[in-house]
Amino acid sequence: MFITKKFLDRRTVLKGAGATIALPLLDAMIPASTALADTAAKPLPKLGFIYFPHGAVMAEWSPKATGTQFEIPKILEPAAQHRSHMTIVSGLRNRGGESNTPHAIIAGTWLGCVAPAVSHDPRAGTTLDQMAARVISNDTAFPSLELSTEGGTVCDPAYGCSYGNTISFRSPTQPLPMEYNPRKVFYRLFGQGDTADERTAIVRETGSILDSIAGDARTLAKRLGGPDQVMVADYLDSVREIERRVQKMQSQGLGGVQLPDAPVGIPADFEEHLKLLFEMITLAYQANLTRVATFMMAREVSMRTYNNLGISDAFHPLSHHQNNPEKMAKLVKVQTFHTKVFTTFLDRLAKTPDGDGSLLDHSLILFGSNMSNSDIHNNNPLPAAVFGKAYGRIKGGQHIQMPADTPLANLHLTLLDRAGVPVERFADSTGLIKEL
């Protein structure tokens, strides 16, 4: 450990012309072993809520055995290497998301579990992520980060358009917009300026954010021990790679086809789009820019096709499989693909040092959907898997089968409890899931 009376402040940043880069947790930020003990007394986990639409083919999601000796089902197979950090929770139901017009409210009620009022103005519940952000992330540059891969609107004559385009509500009447342009996310995290236009102008002038802070980085390196120098170099290399990929997307456009109403910076490759946004969440965690992130991998009623998997059917029509074996097999293939890309995020968290462990050791990531059988739009039982151990507060490596109709809110209440957020009740919760 690098111990000195002149330790670095946890909020130390690298500055350049119009750019500021936050740093990961370094040994030099811990003045002595006693300070380390004080810091570790109440560690704050990183929370992530990763949503996929149109439910899951539950026969390929739910393990047959419970406890620790379960066989990982097909849809979750890509994440098998993280078995010790995986907790599958079955038997959950979200009554707050049930409706005669489900797609209009299904995403927006996943983290809130409160049935919205019939109104074009939002009236539902404050979501889990925002409750957590107020407590564990209020001292970061971004209390929370909300991302998605698709814009557009999902509207309904009864409920309006508030619940189909976000999974995050700051209050029962305040939905939070989700950013889907990786370029804007990058400059929001690492750029400087009051508006997107100002940040764009700064980048054009400097050419590269990292080039502009190079001098400050060299000065800092002289103050750091060897391990810290390696960690900072690796971190800046990761930022550099993301910057390169974002710039490449900007120069290439949408596969060479320029559409007038397409936002600049959206890649033609959906997998690349997902990976870029997952990478930015990792960097935001690593630099302590935020401790709470939500990500909607695709939106409800998505008409995206998965030609990369040899599937030309649009996602939403495919989800209405009518128990056709061929369609269900394609749907499982799409759902497994989502897990595969999500696993690249878990891989990065597992490989990223964070104090006395990895980011995955210190994170709590919910991966799931607010729909079960997409063909009949039901919400019972829901697919839900928790990854990470939240500094040892989650056991991991098990399948928990809850009694039928257990409120999804019980899981949310438990996640808040394990994150250190004191809440006595959440929506229609009836108690904690003690097995978690």
- pLDDT: which is higher, 277 or 215: 277
Q: For residue 354, list its beta bridge partners.
A: 357
Quote the domain boundaries for residue 91: 43-180+266-418
pTM of the model: 0.80
Confidence class for position 52, pLDDT limits 50, 70, 90 = very high
Average pLDDT, the chain: 85
Mean pLDDT is lowest, of 16-20, 50-54, 130-134, for 16-20
Residue 42 confidence (pLDDT) above 90: no
10 occurs within a structural domain: no
32 occurs within a structural domain: no
* φ/ψ bin of 127: left (φ > 0), alpha (ψ from -120 to 50), beta (otherwise): beta
258 occurs within a structural domain: no
- pLDDT: which is higher, 53 or 34: 53
Q: How far apart are CA 8 and CA 27, in angstroms?
A: 9
- pLDDT: which is higher, 228 or 335: 335
What local confidence, expressed as pLDDT, does residue 168 receive? Answer: 95
| pLDDT, tens only, 183-226 | 788 877 776 544 545 545 655 555 576 777 777 878 887 788 87
Q: How is residue 84 annotated by DSSP? A: G
187 occurs within a structural domain: no
Helices 226-252 and 270-286 pack at an angle, to 10 degrees, of 150
Mean pLDDT is lowest, of 48-57, 187-196, 238-247, 311-320, for 187-196
113 occurs within a structural domain: yes
Q: How is residue 25 annotated by DSSP? A: -
- pLDDT: which is higher, 25 or 110: 110
Helices 270-286 and 325-351 pack at an angle, to 10 degrees, of 30
Which segments of 152-302 does DSSP mark as H helices, in order?
Answer: 182-190, 196-206, 209-212, 214-221, 226-252, 270-286
**Sequence-separated (6 or more) residues with CB below 8 Å from residue 22:** 11, 13, 141, 287, 288, 289
The CATH number assigned to the domain holding 74 equals 3.40.720
What local confidence, expressed as pLDDT, does residue 258 receive? Answer: 32
**Sequence-separated (6 or more) residues with CB below 8 Å from residue 323:** 375
186 occurs within a structural domain: no
Q: In Å, how far are 250, 310, 400 from 384, measured between CA atoms?
A: 36, 27, 10
Residue tagged 């098990």 (tokens): 398
203 occurs within a structural domain: no
- Exposed / middle / buried, residue 312 (Cβ in 10 Å: 0-12, 13-18, 19+): exposed
Say how many domains are in the chain.
1
- Enter the tokens of residue 347: 């891989």
126 occurs within a structural domain: yes
What local confidence, expressed as pLDDT, does residue 158 receive? Answer: 86
